[in-house]
Amino acid sequence: MNFHTPNPNSELPCSARIKSLSFASKASHSGPMGFPWQSALAAVFGIGVGVLLERLKNRSGAKKAVESSSDVVKSGSFVFVGREQLEKTVASCLKAAGAPPDKAQLVAQVLVAADARGIPSHGVNRAEMYCGELKAKLIDPGADPKISSDSASAANVDGCNGLGAVVASYAMKLCIQKAKSTGIGLVVCHNSNHFGIAGFWSELALKEKLIGFAFTNTSPFLVPTRACQRAGGTNPIACYCPAEGDSFQLDMATTTVPIGKIEVCHRKGQQIPNGWGVDSTGVCSTTNPEKILKGGGLTPLGGLEETAGYKGYGLNMMVEILCAILSGCQKVGPAVPPWRVDRGTAVDYGHCFICIDPAKLLPSGDFEKALSGYLSTMRQLPAGDVERSVLVPGDPERAEEDDAAKQGVRLNRQIALGLRSLAQSLGCSGSLPAEIQALPEDASAPKHPHAV
Amino acid sequence: MNFHTPNPNSELPCSARIKSLSFASKASHSGPMGFPWQSALAAVFGIGVGVLLERLKNRSGAKKAVESSSDVVKSGSFVFVGREQLEKTVASCLKAAGAPPDKAQLVAQVLVAADARGIPSHGVNRAEMYCGELKAKLIDPGADPKISSDSASAANVDGCNGLGAVVASYAMKLCIQKAKSTGIGLVVCHNSNHFGIAGFWSELALKEKLIGFAFTNTSPFLVPTRACQRAGGTNPIACYCPAEGDSFQLDMATTTVPIGKIEVCHRKGQQIPNGWGVDSTGVCSTTNPEKILKGGGLTPLGGLEETAGYKGYGLNMMVEILCAILSGCQKVGPAVPPWRVDRGTAVDYGHCFICIDPAKLLPSGDFEKALSGYLSTMRQLPAGDVERSVLVPGDPERAEEDDAAKQGVRLNRQIALGLRSLAQSLGCSGSLPAEIQALPEDASAPKHPHAV
């Protein structure tokens, strides 16, 4: 990262800089003593202009890099669809692909919740992949999880290769019980599948006035610090904490961005910002999402080694240990199969849930009250840029969910088209919302990059 | 972050550029038609020189940033001192400043462990500050912690403003008991003080074959994403996990670097790499450690917003919530007093410890065996640079600790001189190791920047 020492000149608008140059040119005419003052001064001012031009270029470069991951993912044209209607469509597709109705409904809820919260990477975008896994018999759609070991505060759950949301729902409910009984609960799961956004499960704890953590390992997309191949998932950490009429909602991949954001950009034909991922050499940054999806990989949070990327890599390993090793998964780290329908084997994902009951540590309500105060204090901090106020984790997603309740869930047009193609291919296009059915006949969406 | 398009000219050595400029000046003399070609060409080449100068400046900035935090902190000249001898010296100083012998010994062990593990920022470097707090009666040196609430798996401990290490030791031992009994244990603490390196406490769990987490909040040094003032500590996360003859040892600040690294660079008169912190404006990066210590602040892990610094900020808040809010600290986030001897009040730090017993989830030994395999797999990943093999968290610190056992604990000369001054001022210089006593008479060390 390059930061320049502040220079008052670099703040001048472009016209002011040109004026300052022409004034200088005039002054240079008065040079005495035969020395080529005119040329010398012109050269000096030229140097100044060069410096300014270069700074200007660097500034515009910096501006490009300011595109946040949400800016990139949220750009494009949209279709707005009622949340329940969208859930019905996704559930119909999952049922057509082989899932029992109740389990299909739960998975659909989790996927649509992601879109409603402005995380389209983990939403309807993935319906095609889930259906592909079901049709390829990679997941046992009817499997119910079972406890493989149990103690007062901790349990290990065998997911029996069932739908990830079914396993997660069972495990988080068990974890909530344990926390309410003893103060803190831990439930790990093995032999599971994708469980959607981690925050969905933390939210179950939040509704019970508990602190809820949710972690999962996933298929390798991370290129660890110093390595030149993929060897870890995006391995998210979710931590939700209840406050008075408010809450703290952290849900983050331990990579710089989750792979789902790369998928969405790929589907939308967008380039991605520099620094999110590397190509198949493992060391070259790329702005082409396809290069990351096909052979490249993601950087850990923190980026390169000199900017402490090894910390994001360490957190990534921590999540892998809590999810895959502590639950006894057979496939760990780089050995986890890719999340593709041609993988020919179960992914064997592991999850970890931890719940804490603040009322076992403080008088009831004290935690929520103090947390509300802290969240307000942080939001009211003076901002460096008056147009970008200070936020706390969960603020953008909550605002998005409020909007979705009013105007419907915002679906990128390409993703909506993908859902239409999927429903058509599964013979359940009758379940499609009118807004998606009404899209032009000839519009088509690229296949999901994983659903080969 | 600024990325330049590669330009062959910018690769020219400085002398070649000057040559190219003088050639241009000669050519400009042949201008026809009365137009001031000479000045125009001089200006044009001046622009070129300006661009080159600016690029050169940016390049040297980029080069500086490649220095890793350990490179910076470990450079300089050293004194090697036996670990027990060093502990004795530090304990003598703490006793002279008012701590009871057993408690002084524990604090000394924690501080010296940091130096032995190659984390000098949290070691003897801080003895002066600890003694200053004791002498200023900011800490109750004889206080013993007590339980303020208790359940089967969770407890809240009142540190009674005692020494942080005393509080942490009590809490972690209680947490270990709870985990062994129920599978997972949680102990939070309020009204405490600095507890040294978080990993020291996780290691207590490791010795019991448990997974051990340790977290603490600290005085504000972090400038949150979008804010322009300090509002969070360095808030570390430590997670140690036992393996067969091996272990995973993550111990990281949720800022890009811990403040202790800035302190060490300040004490050694070194500049720091760009990107670690900002000056008092909150938005300008600085390479001067003094500017960060006096009014500036640290960036969260991930750096700026476009590189996902908001995730590090989110983790930082998570640690604040687990430590300060869950334990009922009266001072939270930006309200935590600065860690200075002139603060006139207790810091009221909070800690959080979580232990997990893998034997409650998997057959005994399975976790350790699987983790060993995973750690080996990661270390054997192909490296992008053959001279820098892939590591796992704890590898550098373990290597440093092995060296310390053979050759003595490595102390930076400036830090050793600081310890000598401290011991002299407290009238216990007789406890100094011979290696430190032997340093030249006139050598002196700058005061600890916090110990005003």
| DSSP class per residue in A172-201 | HHHHHHHHHHHSEEEEEEEEE---S-HHHH
CA atoms within a 13 Å half-sphere pointing along the CA-CB vector of A227: 28
Cα of B421 vs its chain's centroid, Å: 24
pLDDT band at B16 (very low <50, low <70, confident <90, very high): very low
- Interface contact flag, B305 A389, Cβ < 8 Å: no
Integer distance in angstroms from the first to the last C-alpha of chain B? 36
- For helices B164-182 and B198-206, the axis angle rounded to 10 degrees is 30
SS3 B223: coil
What is the C-alpha to C-alpha distance for residues A186 and A179, in angstroms, rounded to an integer?
8
Q: Tens of pLDDT along A345-358?
A: 999 999 999 999 99
Residue B131 and residue B340 in contact, taking contact as beta carbons nearer than 8 Å: no
- For helices A14-27 and A37-65, the axis angle rounded to 10 degrees is 170
Q: Which residues of A touch B332 (CB under 8 A)?
A: 370, 373-374, 377
What is the C-alpha to C-alpha distance for residues B212 and B396, in angstroms, rounded to an integer?
19
What is the C-alpha to C-alpha distance for residues B138 and B144, in angstroms, rounded to an integer?
15
* CA nearest to B118, candidates B301, B261, B268: B261
Matching residue, tokens 């058509």: A424
The token pair at A70 is 């949400």
The pLDDT of residue B447: 56
The pLDDT of residue A259: 84
Q: Which residues of A touch B303 (CB under 8 A)?
A: 1, 302-303, 307
What does pTM read for this prediction? 0.85
Chain B: closest CA distance from residue A59 (Å): 8
The pLDDT of residue A451: 42
The pLDDT of residue B241: 98
- Interface contact flag, A328 B362, Cβ < 8 Å: yes
Distance (Å) of CA A74 to CA A145, A257, A261: 36, 14, 10
pLDDT by residue for chain A (452 residues), tens only, comes to 222 223 333 322 223 322 332 323 333 333 344 556 676 676 667 666 655 664 444 333 333 333 455 555 566 789 999 999 999 999 999 999 999 999 999 999 999 999 999 999 899 999 999 999 999 999 999 999 999 999 999 999 999 999 999 999 999 999 999 999 999 999 999 999 999 999 999 999 999 999 999 999 999 999 999 998 999 999 999 999 999 999 999 999 999 988 878 887 887 788 887 778 888 776 677 889 999 888 889 999 998 887 899 999 999 999 999 999 999 999 999 999 999 999 999 999 999 999 999 999 999 999 999 999 999 999 999 988 888 999 999 999 999 999 999 999 999 998 999 999 999 999 999 999 999 999 997 555 555 555 43
- Interface contact flag, B354 A6, Cβ < 8 Å: no
φ, ψ at B388 (rounded to 5°): -125, 90
SS3 B232: strand
Amino acid identity, residue A336? V
Chain B: closest CA distance from residue A264 (Å): 18
- For helices A259-267 and A413-425, the axis angle rounded to 10 degrees is 90
What is the C-alpha to C-alpha distance for residues B246 and A34, in angstroms, rounded to an integer?
79
Chain A: closest CA distance from residue B78 (Å): 24
Ramachandran quadrant class, B181 (left: phi over 0; alpha: psi -120 to 50; beta: rest):
alpha
Amino acid identity, residue B170? Y
Q: Which residues of B touch A34 (CB under 8 A)?
A: none
The token pair at A188 is 């790990």
Give the helix ranges, DSSP H, for A287-412: 289-293, 309-320, 366-379, 395-407
Residue B361 and residue B211 in contact, taking contact as beta carbons nearer than 8 Å: no
Q: Are strands A146-150 and B146-150 parallel, antiparallel or unpaired?
A: unpaired
**How many Cβ atoms sit within 10 Å of the Cβ of residue B434?**
9
pLDDT band at B446 (very low <50, low <70, confident <90, very high): low
The pLDDT of residue A307: 84
What is the C-alpha to C-alpha distance for residues A436 and A411, in angstroms, rounded to an integer?
10
What is the C-alpha to C-alpha distance for residues A59 and B241, in angstroms, rounded to an integer?
45
Least confident of A49-63, B230-244, B327-341: A49-63
ipTM: 0.84
- Interface contact flag, A326 B51, Cβ < 8 Å: no
Q: Tens of pLDDT along B346-404?
A: 999 999 999 999 999 999 999 999 999 999 999 999 988 888 999 999 999 999 999 99
Which residue of B67, B191, B301, B369 is the best one to mutate when testing the A interface, meaning the one whose CB has the most A CBs within 10 A?
B301
Q: Are strands A211-216 and A184-192 parallel, antiparallel or unpaired?
A: unpaired
- Interface contact flag, A357 B317, Cβ < 8 Å: no
- For CA atoms A428, A434, A439, A441, give the dihedral sign: positive
Nearest CA in chain B to A258: B308
- Interface contact flag, A228 B62, Cβ < 8 Å: no
Residue B47 and residue A49 in contact, taking contact as beta carbons nearer than 8 Å: yes
The token pair at A47 is 């140097």
Chain B: closest CA distance from residue A154 (Å): 5
Matching residue, tokens 């999962």: A216
Ramachandran quadrant class, A295 (left: phi over 0; alpha: psi -120 to 50; beta: rest):
left
The token pair at A53 is 């031009």
Q: Which residues of B touch A153 (CB under 8 A)?
A: 152-153, 182-185
Output DSSP code: residue A317: H
Residue A163 and residue A133 in contact, taking contact as beta carbons nearer than 8 Å: no
Q: Which residues of B touch A6 (CB under 8 A)?
A: 284
pLDDT surpassing 90 at residue B20 = no
- For CA atoms B363, B367, B373, B374, give the dihedral sign: positive
For every residue of B284-339, DSSP letters joined together read SB-S-HHHHHTT-EEPBTT-SGGGTHHHHHHHHHHHHIIIIITTT-SS-GGGSPPS
φ, ψ at B43 (rounded to 5°): -65, -45
Q: Which residues of A touch B328 (CB under 8 A)?
A: 361-362, 366, 370
Chain B: closest CA distance from residue A354 (Å): 10
